[in-house]
Structure 1
Amino acid sequence: MNNNQTVVKIGIADLNIVKAPDVIRTSGLGSCVGVVIYNKNKEIAGMAHVMLPDSSLGKQETLNKHKYADTAIDILVEMLLNNGLRKNQLQAKIAGGAQMFHITTENDMMRIGKRNVEAVLNKLAEHNIPVVSSDVGGNFGRTIEFDPQTGLLKIRTITKGEHVI
């Protein structure tokens, strides 16, 4: 990391955008999904830390729109478009969506990680944003860091070490 580089940290149920040389990072992705939408040529990226798939289940008057796949991705795309990007130039990388606890029921409502991944993929498809790579599922947490200059998403896990997609 060079001295001119800042790491912009994204909290749980949060989102932001970053321009190179800065990088963007989020930690604590268990069943949550980290969504990176970016344009490598313009060296701009946005990241959302999605906690839940569907905002319609939340209390509308106190709704944190950054928490849900269906609303956070809309906001992130809007922020990128407001920074001069065109929708047809955007691509995405996603990570997370783990099944952190052993569940014996067949009830899909309990499989938050899987549902988060599906909701994120559906929303990105709605925006016609291709997912160029992903690292989802499993039963382990992740920390991710994206560099808009290289287009690389670094993924760190306690059990599997570090790799890049």
Structure 2
Amino acid sequence: MPSIPLPGFQPPESIQEVFLNPGGFHFGTTDTRIVTLLGSCVSITLWHPRLRVGGMCHFMLPSRGVIPEGAGYDGRYGDEAMKLFLGHIMRIGAEPEAFQAKLFGGANMFADMAQRCEINVGERNIEMGLLQLERYGIPLVAKHLGGESHRKLMFDVWSGDVWLKSEQGRKPR
């Protein structure tokens, strides 16, 4: 997926590519590309256009409820992945509202099971992602959500661009 260079957003000479597995989280600078594959999981990308820093999370479930005493935040859960973002945002002295968010994923990968159990994990993950962005006042500038197929994402932190490859299936929202 080649990118078209824009003035001021040229790819760096060397790129650090980070692959996120489910539950993964990474926050990087202008030499970083973050890649992941999604099904019912959701990824949020946050990017600061002036500072040109940002990150991506890949959460599997909306929340685990109560965090066990002494445990740190776990990127497998949407509410805790946002807390990981907030920690990085505070460390660089920025405000959450200065970032741009993009939200991806939440496919109904197990449509037959979801109908029988009335549980759609993808839909619940989407709801949590949207709730977290609203809670912290982070503007959502792009989204590709729902559907019934997986997605591959590639986030270029130097430009804020997110490249998406998705299989055909029920149209996402």
- The answer (yes or no) to whether the contact 1:22–1:147 under 8 Å persists in 2 is yes
Runs (4+) of structure 1 moved beyond 4 Å?
A: 61-64
Amino acid at match of 1:38: W
Matched, 1:26 2:41: no
Q: Is the 8 A contact 1:39 1:148 kept in 2?
A: no
Partner of 1:16: 26
1:81 aligned residue (90, 104, 107): 90
Q: Percent identity?
A: 27
Structure 2 unpaired stretches of 5+: 1-10
The 2-side partners of 1:96 and 1:66 are apart by 15
TM-score under structure 2 normalisation?
A: 0.81
Count of aligned residue pairs for this structure pair: 157
Q: CA deviation at 1:85?
A: 2.4
Aligned-partner Cα distance in 1 for 2:41–2:34: 16
**Root mean square deviation, CA, Å:** 2.2
Listed one character per residue, the Cα deviations across residues 40-84 of structure 1 (whole Å, up to 9, x for unaligned) are 221101111010012217x73678621111111111122122123
Query: Looking at CA atoms only, which structure, 1 or 2, has the larger radius of gyration?
Result: 2
Q: CA 1:156 to 1:122, structure 2 compared with 1: closer, same or farther past 3 Å?
A: same
Which residue is equivalent to 1:163?
none
Match of 1:43 in 2: 52
Contact 1:40 1:149 in 2 (8 A): no
Residues 55/32 of structure 1: CA separation in 2 closer, same or farther (3 Å cut): same
124, 127, 131: which one aligns with 2:133: 124
**Matched residues in 1 for 2:108 and 2:59: separation?**
15
TM-score by length of 1: 0.84
- Which residue is equivalent to 1:53? 62
